[in-house]
Amino acid sequence: EFKECFSLYDKKQKGKIRAGDLLVVMRSLGASPTPGEVQRHLHLHKIDRNAELDFSTFLNIMYRQMKQEEPEREILTALSMIDRQRSGFITAAELRAKLTRLGEKLSEEEVDDLLKEAKVGPNGTIKYEEFVRTIS
């Protein structure tokens, strides 16, 4: 599947894709990197945004991204269960309850530190997907 998708973006049939296409290729394979994460991957491999990357480098980047997203997905799944309306938001109180009572319980101080990173809206809600990305 990875090779097939990579080949679709290998327009010159040279075994390389443009670094500028990396975000789209990764997302089409189910990964969900941010533009900043893609930039970090390219920087790590010393690849300029206007350059090209081969399939081996692409696989390495995909592996790193998917490994990074795994715990993030688990957290998102757990928090989405609280979001009964599927709005993408939960209250800070619901988040605190989840973090202090379930799984590997955090202390009130640890939760306070995490909530400092969250953008709590005027109605006391947090966009949890954004919050998880911030703390991951």
Per-residue pLDDT of the chain (136 residues; tens, 9 = 90+): 899 999 999 999 999 999 999 999 999 998 989 898 999 999 999 999 889 999 999 999 999 898 887 777 778 888 898 998 999 999 999 999 888 887 778 889 988 888 888 888 889 999 998 988 887 6
Instruction: For the domain made up of 2-68, give the CATH fold.
Output: Recoverin; domain 1 (1.10.238)
Give the span between the Cα atoms of 103 and 73, in whole angstroms.
Answer: 15
pTM equals 0.56
Which DSSP symbol is given to 116?
H
CA 81 to mean position of chain CA atoms = 19
Instruction: Write the CATH number of the domain with boundaries 81-135.
Output: 1.10.238.10
Q: What number of residues does the chain have?
A: 136
If one counts every other C-beta atom within 10 angstroms of the C-beta of residue 125, the result is 20
Do the beta carbons of residue 39 and residue 26 sit within 8 Å? no
Q: What is the pLDDT of residue 6?
A: 95
Do the beta carbons of residue 82 and residue 89 sit within 8 Å? no
Tokens 């990173």 belong to 117
Give me the amino acid identity at 120.
V
Tell me where in the chain the CATH 1.10.238.10 domain(s) lie. Answer: 2-68, 81-135
Q: What is the pLDDT of residue 71?
A: 74
